[in-house]
Structure 1
Amino acid sequence: MCQNPPVSDLREQNGRTGAQAIERALAVLRCFETGEVTKGVSEIARLTGLSVSTTHRLTRALTDGGLLMRAPRGDRYQLGPALLVLGMRAAEQLGYDQVLPVLQELAAATGESVNLGIRAGREVQVVLDVASSQPLRFDQARGTRVPLHTSAMGKCLIAGDDDLAATIDHLGDLARLTRNTITSPDALHAELRAVRDRGWALNDEERVPGVRAVAVPVRDSGERVLAAIAVQGPAVRLTEDRFEHVVELSALTAAKIAPLLQNR
């Protein structure tokens, strides 16, 4: 004899189903953070690991809500106008619209590309970027996500954690991206202690061969890390004799933008 499940069980099941739908929709939107501005359903399905039928249903729902829109040509999608409104409002509320000119000043002073990054789970997410004017440069577009342990910004973001061992354990396997990538938990622990002591971090070709980055944390009045600023460029140009000057300029920039971020 069939019996209906208890109401509490139905609510729990519906809650899981609803959360899963939201997670899948967010995964679809995140496909547009970097890369080509338009994407087809098959490409989105491949990037998210979802079935084509599920992806088609999600893209249609997101399009109905204005979060996506059909591209002018072909059966492809792009970000929709509703996200523009939300993005502009978020940039204003978070202070990013006022921070960008300050980062542009840092890029001009150092001659290198500059990023502002925030902690996003086990990754750093670039939220603002300023490209160097140099022909030979290294840029990271806003929306880019990179593993915390391979990034100077990432090291700054986690170096102040109370329990570094627990933080490192949460990162899981420390993937090797170059021969310089720190893959030992003990070595990363020592590196983060050094970052905490000196107040800045270095990415010495640990994610991309030939590229270095120097980063400093942006802290609020209570010393909580809000974000990190990175100055990055070719290792042949961002040499050790420049580190001190770049750190000094970056720290001044961090002090300027901290009030713009923490008062939001």
Structure 2
Amino acid sequence: MTYVSGTAPPGATALMCENFAVTVPQPSQQRSGAQAVERALAVLHCVEATDDSVGVTELAQRTGLTVSTAHRLARTLTEAGLLRQDARSERYGLGPALVVLGRKAERRLGYQQALPLLEELAEETGESINLGIRAGNEVNVVLDVMSSQPLRFNQESGTRIPLHVSAMGKCLLACGDIDAEIEGLGDLDRATHRTITDRDQLRAELELVRERGWALNDEERNPGVRAVAAPVLRPGGGVVGAIAIQGPTIRITDERLPELAALLGRTTKLVAELLSAPRD
């Protein structure tokens, strides 16, 4: 078997789209530029969350906006190249300008420079490797290296995972104020029977992650899959992201965890030094 893969301020209504939260003030509140930006982001992220394309009526339903507002924002984003519209179906997809922006961001942030280190880690462990960064209450996978094993688990770049069901997410949460982080997560949705949905249990888990320096996802998102992750820490303080080793439970056993954690510690240190180095 192969596996492939906000809280609103007072007086505001929180719109959710595929786990991406934005806040949209009620119509009675004073209209502002921030409101327009929040609504545009809601539209953009709803399109991003679909595998193909989305129609304006569906877009309005998912964001909680009126059809006319959703249509106006989608047209504006299309004119800017952030979305594209199919001439025949009139459905919206991601636009070409995002490719340019993504490549520039990737180059300037330096993530691609870490790929050889992730490939080396994949070769040493025989498992799939991810580098993820935080995006709201999710982990956004920015780099992935697929295992060469026929039985494997892989998460492609661009995949988004709720923080509480991810080993990388636990690392990112443990690097902050744990109580505040848990409070800001909202509902802890269950993905499998092993998902941590109790806040006290999650707090204890994050304290353990902080103490030992690495996190374990023990079939909490996908049955039969385990992941071990460690944070990529900035030399001057703070966290850049996290790196995970993931694979089937038959290979990522309890006996292997110390070895994998040690390999992660070495790799995350090298990646942190690489990403913090000055770039032209």
TM value normalised by structure 2: 0.80
CA distance in 1 between partners of 2:149 and 2:87 (Å) = 34
CA distance in 2 between partners of 1:51 and 1:112 (Å) = 46
CA distance in 1 between partners of 2:200 and 2:143 (Å) = 32
Q: Which moved more, 1:136-145 or 1:247-256?
A: 136-145
Instruction: State percent identity of aligned pairs.
Output: 60
- For the pair 1:25 / 2:25, whether they are aligned, the reply is no
CA distance in 2 between partners of 1:33 and 1:230 (Å) = 24
Equivalent position of 1:167 in the other structure: 181
CA spacing shift, 1:99–1:199, aligned 2, 3 Å: same
**In the TM superposition, what whole-angstrom CA distance separates every residue of 1:166-187 from its partner, at most 9, and x where no partner exists?**
2222223322222211222222
Mapped contact 1:33–1:144 kept (Cα < 8 A): no
Mapped contact 2:48–2:93 kept (Cα < 8 A): no
Q: Which moved more, 1:25-34 or 1:243-252?
A: 25-34
- For the pair 1:13 / 2:30, whether they are aligned, the reply is yes
Mapped contact 1:33–1:143 kept (Cα < 8 A): no
Question: How much has 1:247 moved relative to structure 2?
Answer: 1.7
CA spacing shift, 1:239–1:173, aligned 2, 3 Å: same
Q: Which moved more, 1:70-79 or 1:131-140?
A: 70-79
CA spacing shift, 1:246–1:170, aligned 2, 3 Å: same
**In the TM superposition, what whole-angstrom CA distance separates every residue of 1:82-122 from its partner, at most 9, and x where no partner exists?**
22221111111111121223222222322222111122222
Letter of the structure 2 residue corresponding to residue 13 of structure 1: Q
2:90 pairs with one of 55, 75, 85: 75
- For the pair 1:231 / 2:245, whether they are aligned, the reply is yes
CA distance in 1 between partners of 2:193 and 2:277 (Å) = 41
Equivalent position of 2:65 in the other structure: 50
Structure 1: 5+ residue stretches without partners: 1-11
Equivalent position of 1:131 in the other structure: 146
Return the structure number with greater helix share: 1
Letter of the structure 1 residue corresponding to residue 200 of structure 2: D
Query: How much is the aligned-residue C-alpha RMSD, in angstroms?
Result: 2.2
Which entry has the higher C-alpha Rg, 1 or 2? Answer: 1
- Secondary structure in 2 matching 1:31: helix
Matches within 5 A, 1:79-94: 79-94=94-109
Mapped contact 1:40–1:75 kept (Cα < 8 A): yes
Structure 2: 5+ residue stretches without partners: 1-28
TM value normalised by structure 1: 0.85
Mapped contact 1:123–1:147 kept (Cα < 8 A): yes
CA distance in 2 between partners of 1:102 and 1:34 (Å) = 29
Mapped contact 1:213–1:233 kept (Cα < 8 A): yes
Equivalent position of 1:121 in the other structure: 136
Equivalent position of 1:145 in the other structure: 160
Question: How much has 1:153 moved relative to structure 2?
Answer: 0.6
Number of residue-to-residue matches in the alignment: 250
CA distance in 2 between partners of 1:230 and 1:263 (Å) = 22
CA spacing shift, 1:166–1:208, aligned 2, 3 Å: same
- For the pair 1:202 / 2:210, whether they are aligned, the reply is no
CA spacing shift, 1:249–1:71, aligned 2, 3 Å: farther
